[in-house]
Structures are given as C-alpha cells and as structure tokens.
Amino acid sequence: MRFVRSLTRIVRFCLSKILDRQFLIFLSFLILSAAFWLFQALDEEYEVAVRTELELTNVPKNVVITTPPPQSVQVTLRDKGYTLLRYLYGRELPSLTINFTNVANKSGHVRLAASSVYRQLTSRLTPSTRVVACRPDTVEFFFNYGLSKRVPVRLVGHFRPAKEYHISAVRVNPDSVTVYAAGSLLDTISVAYLQPVRYGGFTDTIRFDLKVQPQLGAKFVPDHASIELDVDRLTEKTVEVPVRWINFPATKTLRAFPSKVNVTFQVGLSNYRHVSADDFTLVVNYEDLLKDNTGRYTLNLRSIPPGVSHVRISPQTIDYLIEDVPTE
C-alpha cells in the first residue's frame, strides 16, 4: 500500500508539471521552431537516388530474349527537399520503356546509351527536377529468333561424405537443357554448368536444387536442375584373382608363383555381394617379360569394377617361369 501511495504522488506531480502554463508555452515554441527549421531545410536543394522500373515492350512472339535488360534502373535527382519527398514517399516515378521494334538489329545484341533511355523520364518529372546521374550508364540486352540446341548439364562442386562413406550414385534431373543464343555464341556452348556448391560430412542421401550458371547472351531452359546424391557405407572385401597372361606365342606358357593373388578393396554395403573375382583382371604381358631378367614380375590390375576403391594386391610381386609347350 505504501508503494501505491508513493507512485500516485509521483504521477500527480508529473501531471501538474505537464499542465503547467510555462511548460506548455515552452512546448509550443519548441514545436514552432522545429517546424520553421523543417521548412527552411526543405527549401534547400538536395540530391537523392531513386529507382524506377524499366520495361521492354513490343517483343514479337518469335523472339527469345536471352539476356534481358535490368528490371529497374537508378537515377539521381536534384531538386528542393519537399519535391524530392514526393518522389520518395508519395508520387511514384514513371516507368521507362524500350520499344523492341525501334532498337532491334541483326547482331542480336542491343546496347543503348543511358541518355537515350532516361530522356523520356525528364519530360515526366516536375519542371524543376533535374536528372544528374544514371546507373547503369548503358542498358543492353540480347535476343535471337529461336536458334537453340540441347546441351548436357554438368554438376560442379566438392562433395565429401563422412568418414567410411562414399557417394554411390549421382542423379541430375534434367540431365540436359535447351540453350538459346546467337549462332556464333551457340557454337561455343557445349555444357550447361550448374552453380558450384560444397557439401561435406553427410551420411545419408541429400537432395538440392541448383541454378545453371548464367552466361551473357544465352538463355537456358530450364535454368535449374534437381540433384540427388546417394551415399553408402564402405566395407572391405577380399577376393582371390587368378593371374592370366597375354601375347604369349603358341609355343610358350607361363607358370606363376603364386598363380592366384588376393585383391582387397573397399566397396559399399549395397554392392558388396555383386562384386566378385571375375570383375578384376590381372594380366602378365609376354612382351614385358622379355625385357625382364629377374624372374619376378610386379602385378597391376587391368580392370576395376565401378564403385570400388582403395584396391590392394597381395602379393604385389610374383615369381614366374616361361616354359615351352610340349609338342605331340
């Protein structure tokens, strides 16, 4: 109760001060001074940057705009403060237009000086308003008349799954897109590269969408692709692979010691049962043996199945003898 009484006295005291005649006079002069200062300030000239829309009109149906002009442009206006306030918070700036029919050419590349585009804005502004700067200072766009081709989509990036996992499959949908461009540029485009991306430490399938990297003067349809990366847990497997020989004359044969070696490798669990010794090829080339006088040969795999990594051969080196084939 004592706290409530104290609070009541404080509120009454504050109200009495607010309603005090001298305070009200002071407040009135403060408001008048602020208003006078504001009017003085708004009567000065300032520069302000504003944006206005830019639209390409009268585009024929058989024309493909491969790189459009900017959707908006920035202009710097100079005028008195109260006029600029209308542009900022009230009256919208008129949009600018480019008439395709008036500027089209045979090259498929239109480049316009800023002055030719912004000139139409000047006539729509208040007479006292001046345009002192424009960005960009050049407006350009590219087009063609439907010339196109299909190109494959290429994934670009760095993907590293968690330890003891590997990427078992990569799916890109769509795997190809249509590119529109002028003939000279179209001949140089063979692949649609996706935006580079990095993923790491994942242990399950990941899915994401990526945009095609834009290229000046070209339009890709569609301009994006869906990516799916499957991962699988790695395990180790060992198979026994026979040593084979090639390019031996009919009168010669090979004795290898040992005749079979162990091939150890890492493979995903889902593919573990599908990889066998038949998927590996170990060969000894007769022409290589003719150059050797040690009686020992270092083995190398001639073929490795997909999805297999970190392959090791044990033993890597074998002893051998070249024998004549007995004649009947």
Show me where the domains of the chain are located.
45-144, 148-232, 235-324
Closest residue by Cα to residue 236 from 265, 202, 272, 273: 265
Written as one string, the DSSP assignment of 253-296 is EEEEESSEEEEEEEEEGGGGGG--GGG-EEEEEHHHHHT--SSE
* pLDDT for position 17: 57
Q: Which residue from 142, 141, 138 is spatially nearest to 185, judged by alpha carbons?
A: 142
91-115 tens-digit pLDDT: 667 788 899 999 998 888 999 887 7
Cα 295–chain centre separation: 56
- If you ran DSSP here, which 8-state letter would residue 249 be given? -
- Residues of the chain short of pLDDT 70, as ranges, are 1-44, 81-82, 89-92, 328
On the CB side of 289, CA atoms within 13 Å amount to 24
pLDDT at position 35, please? 57
| Entry pTM | 0.68
Which CATH topology does 148-232 take?
Answer: RNA Polymerase Alpha Subunit; Chain A, domain 2 (2.170.120)
List 153's β-bridge partners, or say none.
Answer: 192
pLDDT of the residue at 119: 78
Write out the CATH class of domain 45-144: mainly beta
239: DSSP letter: E
Q: What is the pLDDT of residue 250?
A: 85
CATH fold for the domain made of 235-324: RNA Polymerase Alpha Subunit; Chain A, domain 2 (2.170.120)
Reduced 3-state DSSP string for 85-121 = HHHHHHCCCCCEEEEHHHHCCCCCEEEEEHHHHHHHH
Residue type, 188: T
With CA atoms as reference, report the closest residue to 110 among 97, 100, 120, 118. Answer: 100
pLDDT per position as a tens digit, 284-315: 988 888 888 888 999 988 888 988 989 999 99
| Equal fold, 148-232 vs 235-324 | yes
